[in-house]
Amino acid sequence: MTADKSSLFSRIESYRRRAGRVRGSVIETAHGGGGRAMRDLLDDVIVGVFVREFGSRELSDHEDQARFELTALSARGDRLAVTTDSYVVTPLEFPGGDIGSLAVNGTVNDLAVGGARPLYLTCSLVIEEGLEIAVLRRIVRSMARAAKHAGVAIVTGDTKVVARGAADRLFINTTGIGVIPRGVEVASNRVAPDDVLLVNGYLGDHGAAILVARGELQLETDIPSDCAALSPLVELLLSELDVHAMRDVTRGGLAAVLNELALASEVGIVVNAKALPVRHEVAGFCEILGLDPVHLANEGKLVVAVPKAQATRALELMRSHPLGQHAVAIATCRRDPPGLVTLDTGFGGERILDMLVGEPLPRIC
Amino acid sequence: MKYIDEFRDPVAGRRVLKQIEGLVARLKPRTAPLKIMEVCGGHTHSIFKFGLEVMLPDVIELVHGPGCPVCVLPVGRIDDAIAIAEQPNVIFTTFGDAMRVPGSAKSLLATRAGGADIRTVYSPTDALALARANPGREVVFFGLGFETTVPATALTILEADADNIDNFSVFSNHITIIPTINALLETPDLTLDGFIGPGHVTMVIGLEPYRFVAERFAKPMVISGFEPLDILQAIQMLLAQFVEGRCEVENQYRRLVRDDGNQAALRAIAEVFELRPFFEWRGLGSIDHSGLTLRERFARFDAERRFTTPKLTVADPKACQCGAVLKGALKPWECKVFGTACTPQTPIGACMVSSEGACAAYYNYGRLTTLRRAPS
Amino acid sequence: MCLGTPGQIVAIHDAAKKLGVVEIAGVRRVTNLACVVDEIPLDACVGEWVLVHVGFAMSRIDPEEARRTLSLLAELGDSAPADDGGLP
């Protein structure tokens, strides 16, 4: 090889090995094709953000799988917890969050409410061609930020690009792995007839924020989504209390979670309508559209069931944490009627609180 | 919230209940319960939402009437709506209420899943805004509701007319309350003792049109607001009429309802709409002069003239006893299919479809009443 | 039927089209005022309370009548309970 040829070779080689940079302003099918364009996208927008910007050490772009030291895991507890969730939301970005922070916090919360300490997430993106790369970059940054905040590492992932119309801009799937510490026994069927149920704050913020952000209702208000990782709050509660059951309150709202708990534990739950924490604006939003805050989605709320004797302490602990400032005891349990959730309306009457059939639809009558 | 929270005050509620109990004690001894019908689905909703039914003395039986414009929509009209929505290039807009109502083969929700462009809107003006934003598409608004909602549709059509929007039309299923109450009162075996009148409809049409209820049919009526205190007070006013032997149309909802209604709203209705000779109601059959259609002058905004629809009359499902429930002859749980074949998830009849419907309200909220009243 | 919500007119949006901004518990929406301008002239309606149905103000709320209804129901007790966190 002549000197000339060798310098050309090394020039090309170093070019081949450079950190890729994505070209153009929108995602095209080539970005999912497995070739150079995909490499560039991953290098620039995914690995570039997670590893270079946020210093993640766990994400490898050389291997097809993430690898864990079992001893490190078993030092933290005696059971693994695994959960998976796919995130589809319109719009992708909304006040208080975006699909990225949602995909991290939602999965973190699903682990946390099982008593697990969330450790690792996977991240799978399904991108519709035409998505602006700037939007994708913002969302990946938001994921990285949320993961860092929640103390979890994104360890592996996948990126697919689908033709226009085959997805709605961006879908994200995250799978989470956590470890449940020895002795922690949180389960939906452990609610006891004299338990008290508490919620950590305002109900319905996320559902209202999304419906307003879609713009179709032409309503203007400042309701941010409550999207947040609940793991620090959960850890605080578990450090002191005998938490019988814990659920994050998401789609279907409080009504769905309470009904699931009542059925799983075969207890009656009596909700105190007057105690339900609802932001002024969300209450107004619901009055206008004929919706009920107990049916609206949340992304940073949980319900805990604790023995009556621990309810006061549970409330104190919750309120001492930024994620539980507006915590309230919302319901008591009883033996009969099993599986039924009723609501003390606060007006003197009592009625059944069931889950909705489908999504809450605004009504006029 | 102002004008809401004050009217949900439980302390005041207990006071009215005391008055109600006092009046009940002064009623002439009777064997049958005192049947009071709330005509309007909004009242039904409040009654269940606040658990009012279980608070009232047993002698008072609330009968949940036909005043839910979604519940009374017949199968054939839903089929027509679906036929319009399925035409190419149409954006079909509707209030959320109508999305789950079953037609003969499917609902609008299922039609949307099948690919039709169906969108829920909060206001007819939002539908008109969609028409402006999509000049190449046909935007159709599903006009639903009684006189409360008709002015909004009328004013929207007037705006479309003034601005010459040529891709906007209304599929009118607007209905009027008076012929319906009249038809109900003419039912031979009706056992109702009095009525809680629809506050928001009356806000538009005024008190005068109801006089016949008291004068010709000798049934007292109190026009009521929708908060729990409003409804309790209306019941208290009705009881006072029974005790004092009066029979009048009274107005509990004075903060919103004027004796002569809302003239601007009535002018808009009269300008745009006229009465149909008759209109089909789910569960109640055909009622003369109870439906509204667009006047000839606004024909270009009339979806029924712009689009071809099957226009078939489809019989109500046989197993369904909605008609008897709407007339108060049957309690929801007495229907053969209530809670088994007919649930909010798989509604057969109109009353189970909308949350305003008597059966859905019972299913969702009221099972407790049945549990309590059932002999154990 | 006919869900209606009390709200306060906080601004005029488009006088020619009789559009105002109505606020309901911190939620604002452009609302058609055509049905209430007979009773309250457009230039005097900011601050008035109306009943809103499907984006239209359908009637002015008469504060005097509202007060009278409430006083008929006897004076209201102190309805704001102390914050006990809902504990039983």
Q: Does C36 touch chain B (CB under 8 A)?
A: yes
Q: What does the alpha-carbon distance between residue B295 and residue B277 come to, in Å, rounded to a whole number?
A: 13
The tokens for A108 are 């973190």
The residue of chain B nearest to residue A289, with distances taken between CA atoms, is B122
Could you report how far apart the first and last alpha carbons of chain A are, in Å? Answer: 84
Q: What is the pLDDT of residue B367?
A: 64
Residue C26 to residue A315, Cβ atoms within 8 A: no
Statement: residue A51 has pLDDT above 90: no
The residue of chain A nearest to residue C24, with distances taken between CA atoms, is A284
Interface test with A, best of B53, B71, B122 (most A CBs within 10 A): B122
User: Which residues of chain A are in CATH 3.90.650.10 domains?
Assistant: 188-352
Read off the pLDDT of residues A80-113 as tens digits, 9 standing for 90 and up.
Answer: 999 999 999 999 999 999 999 999 999 999 999 9
Tell me which chain B residues have a C-beta less than 8 angstroms from the C-beta of A285: none
Host H or E run for residue C49: strand C49-53
Residue pair A246/A240 in contact by the 8 Å Cβ criterion: no
Residue with the bigger pLDDT between A47 and A150: it is A150
Which bin fits B364, alpha (ψ -120 to 50), beta or left (φ > 0)? alpha
Residue B1 to residue A284, Cβ atoms within 8 A: yes
Residue pair B146/B176 in contact by the 8 Å Cβ criterion: yes
Residue C68 to residue B125, Cβ atoms within 8 A: no
**Using CB atoms, which residue from B50, B123, B129 is nearest to A349?**
B50
The answer to whether the bond into A337 is cis (omega within 30° of 0) is: yes
- Chain A contacts in chain C segment 26-55 (CB below 8 A): 26-30, 52-55
Q: What is the DSSP letter of B287?
A: E
Residues 6 or more apart whose Cβ sits within 8 Å of residue B78: B98, B101, B102, B103, B104, B107, B108
Read off the pLDDT of residues A132-189 as tens digits, 9 standing for 90 and up.
Answer: 999 999 999 999 999 999 999 999 999 999 999 999 999 999 999 999 999 999 999 9
> Which is nearest to A112 in space by CA: A205, A250, A13?
A250
Q: What does the alpha-carbon distance between residue A225 and residue A285 come to, in Å, rounded to a whole number?
A: 14
Tell me which chain A residues have a C-beta less than 8 angstroms from the C-beta of B8: 346-347
Query: How many other CB atoms are there within 10 angstroms of residue A70's CB atom?
Result: 8
Q: Does B149 touch chain A (CB under 8 A)?
A: yes
**Using CB atoms, which residue from B50, B97, B120 is nearest to A345?**
B50
**Using CB atoms, which residue from B42, B255, B264 is nearest to C3?**
B42
Q: Does B374 touch chain A (CB under 8 A)?
A: no
The tokens for A246 are 């814990």
Distance of CA B241 to the CA centre of its chain: 26
Interface contacts A/B by beta carbons within 8 Å: 106
**CA torsion through residues B356, B360, B363, B369, sign:** positive
CATH number for the A188-352 domain, one of 3.90.650.10, 3.40.50.1000, 3.40.720.10, 1.10.10.10?
3.90.650.10
Q: Does C27 touch chain B (CB under 8 A)?
A: no
Read off the pLDDT of residues A193-229 as tens digits, 9 standing for 90 and up.
Answer: 999 999 999 999 999 999 999 998 999 999 999 999 9
Residue A363 to residue B97, Cβ atoms within 8 A: yes
Q: What is the pLDDT of residue C79?
A: 43
| DSSP conformation letters of A268-300 | EEEEEGGG----HHHHHHHHHHT--GGGS--SS
Residue with the bigger pLDDT between A9 and A171: it is A171
**Using CB atoms, which residue from B15, B146, B356 is nearest to C74?**
B15
- Bridge partners of A94, per DSSP, are A97
**Using CB atoms, which residue from A218, A288, A363 is nearest to C24?**
A288
Question: Is this complex's ipTM strictly greater than 0.95?
Answer: no
User: Which residues of chain A are in CATH 3.30.1330.10 domains?
Assistant: 23-180
Q: What does the alpha-carbon distance between residue A361 and residue B95 come to, in Å, rounded to a whole number?
A: 9
Tell me which chain B residues have a C-beta less than 8 angstroms from the C-beta of C6: 1-4
For residue B99, CA distances in Å to A228, B71, B174 come to 33, 12, 16
Q: How far is A259 from chain B (nearest CA, A)?
A: 13
Interface test with B, best of C1, C54, C58 (most B CBs within 10 A): C1
The residue of chain A nearest to residue B123, with distances taken between CA atoms, is A217
Q: What does the alpha-carbon distance between residue B60 and residue A172 come to, in Å, rounded to a whole number?
A: 55
Residue A329 to residue C24, Cβ atoms within 8 A: no
Confidence class for position A2, pLDDT limits 50, 70, 90: low
- Please report, for chain B, the start and end positions of each structural domain, with discontinuous segments joined by +: 1-317, 322-364
Three-class DSSP labels, A47-71 = HHHHHHHCCCCCCCCCCCCCCCCHH
Tell me the fold of B1-317.
Answer: Rossmann fold (3.40.50)
Q: What is the pLDDT of residue B262?
A: 97
CATH number for the A23-180 domain, one of 1.10.3210.10, 3.90.470.20, 3.40.50.880, 3.30.1330.10?
3.30.1330.10
Query: What values do phi and psi take at B272, rounded to 5?
Result: -100, -35
> Which is nearest to B149 in space by CA: B169, B167, B176, B129?
B176
The tokens for A122 are 């996977």
**Using CB atoms, which residue from A274, A285, A327 is nearest to C27?**
A285
Q: Does C63 touch chain B (CB under 8 A)?
A: yes
- All domains in chain C, ordered by first residue: 5-72 (2.30.30.140)
Q: What does the alpha-carbon distance between residue A81 and residue A320 come to, in Å, rounded to a whole number?
A: 28
Burial class, A65, CB count within 10 angstroms (exposed 0-12 / middle 13-18 / buried 19+): exposed
| DSSP conformation letters of B177-216 | SHHHHHHHHT-TT----EEEEEHHHHHHH-SGGGHHHHHT
Query: What values do phi and psi take at B208, rounded to 5?
Result: -50, -45
The residue of chain C nearest to residue A311, with distances taken between CA atoms, is C87
Strands (DSSP E) found in B95-137: 117-120
pTM: 0.92
Read off the pLDDT of residues C18-69 as tens digits, 9 standing for 90 and up.
Answer: 999 999 999 999 999 999 998 889 889 999 999 999 999 999 999 999 999 9
Query: What values do phi and psi take at B188, rounded to 5?
Result: -60, -45
For residue A322, CA distances in Å to A227, A327, B33, B154 come to 13, 10, 55, 50
Q: How far is A296 from chain B (nearest CA, A)?
A: 15
Q: What does the alpha-carbon distance between residue B369 and residue A68 come to, in Å, rounded to a whole number?
A: 57
Q: What is the pLDDT of residue B366?
A: 67
| DSSP conformation letters of A330-365 | EEEEESSSTT-EEEE-SSS-EEE----SSS------
Q: Does A325 touch chain C (CB under 8 A)?
A: no
Residue C3 to residue A364, Cβ atoms within 8 A: yes
Residue found under tokens 């089209």: C17
Q: What does the alpha-carbon distance between residue B123 and residue B149 come to, in Å, rounded to a whole number?
A: 10
Q: What is the DSSP letter of A99?
A: H
The residue of chain A nearest to residue C5, with distances taken between CA atoms, is A288
Q: What is the pLDDT of residue C80?
A: 44
Residue A287 to residue C81, Cβ atoms within 8 A: no
Residue C4 to residue B200, Cβ atoms within 8 A: yes
Strands B221-224 and B194-198, by their bridges, are: parallel
Tell me which chain C residues have a C-beta less than 8 angstroms from the C-beta of A327: 85
Q: Does A336 touch chain B (CB under 8 A)?
A: no
- Bridge partners of B61, per DSSP, are B35
10-residue averages of pLDDT along chain B (376 residues): 92 93 92 92 90 92 85 90 97 93 91 97 97 98 96 98 98 95 87 94 97 96 97 97 97 97 98 96 89 98 95 84 82 88 84 78 70 48
Residues 6 or more apart whose Cβ sits within 8 Å of residue A217: A211, A289, A362, B122, B126, C29
- Chain A contacts in chain B segment 82-121 (CB below 8 A): 95-97, 99-100, 109, 119-121
